[in-house]
Amino acid sequence: MALKGKSFIVTGGTRGIGRGLVEALLGAGGRVAFCGRSAKTVAKAVEEMKGLGGALIGLAGDIGSDGDAKKLAGAALSAFGAVDFLINNAAVLATPDTVVNTPPKVWEEVLRVNVAGTVNMIRHVLPGMQKRRSGAIVNLSSGWGRVGEARVASYCASKFAVEGLSQSVAAEAGRGVVVIALNPGIIATDMLATAFESDVSRYPSPRDIAPRWLRLLESLEPKDNGRSLDLDDF
């Protein structure tokens, strides 16, 4: 499927994997709506990505808030008429620590953004896809959404939840809609540096993996519905 002219929502698009993806989609001629938590960083990202191609709108908001998720979905629908791809990328990672030492508020925040935020976006975008019998939802999981690790239990739990959520939504989505969970691999981002508590510059950057993203999105088809995929395979 050619991506030129297709419409996308990318949550968490001001930095890291999301920013690299937005840039790649614009370069492919896509129409992209993205969000970030800070109005300042969103405005800066929009300014920096001008001229890359396609069409771009950026909104400040927290997708863990249903109202903000609804605004982002509404802005994309108003600007583009439909959403062809929803990429649920936005996520937070707590400072690594043991389960015993991780406070309830930290658990609540990680699950609110990583799980409830993903649900919020799906609730506001999926009905339009179902009506058109067309569209794809890519929920970012992690290697830590399939195998747990010490000191990052809240993140692991949230990504295991995303895997199960993706399977359930895939079963409900209906004809023409594809829903997958995607492990993007080990990518050099600020989040990864926090998780590993070390330098991560030896790993691929978000821009390095852009061609894989494009190949994945171009290749999605009905047989992929409900699958857990790895970006490294593309």
Active site residue 203: no
Q: Which of 155, 157, 160, 178 is catalytic?
A: 155
Residue type, 181: A
* φ, ψ at 207 (rounded to 5°): -70, -30
| Residues ≥6 apart with Cβ < 8 Å to 117 | 11, 62, 63, 64, 69, 88, 90, 91
Ordered DSSP codes for 5-62: T-EEEESS-SSHHHHHHHHHHHHTT-EEEEEES-HHHHHHHHHHHTTSSSEEEEEE--
149-178: b (≥16 Cβ within 10 Å) or e: eebbbbbbbbbbbbbebbbebbeebeeebb
Give the catalytic positions in this structure: 155
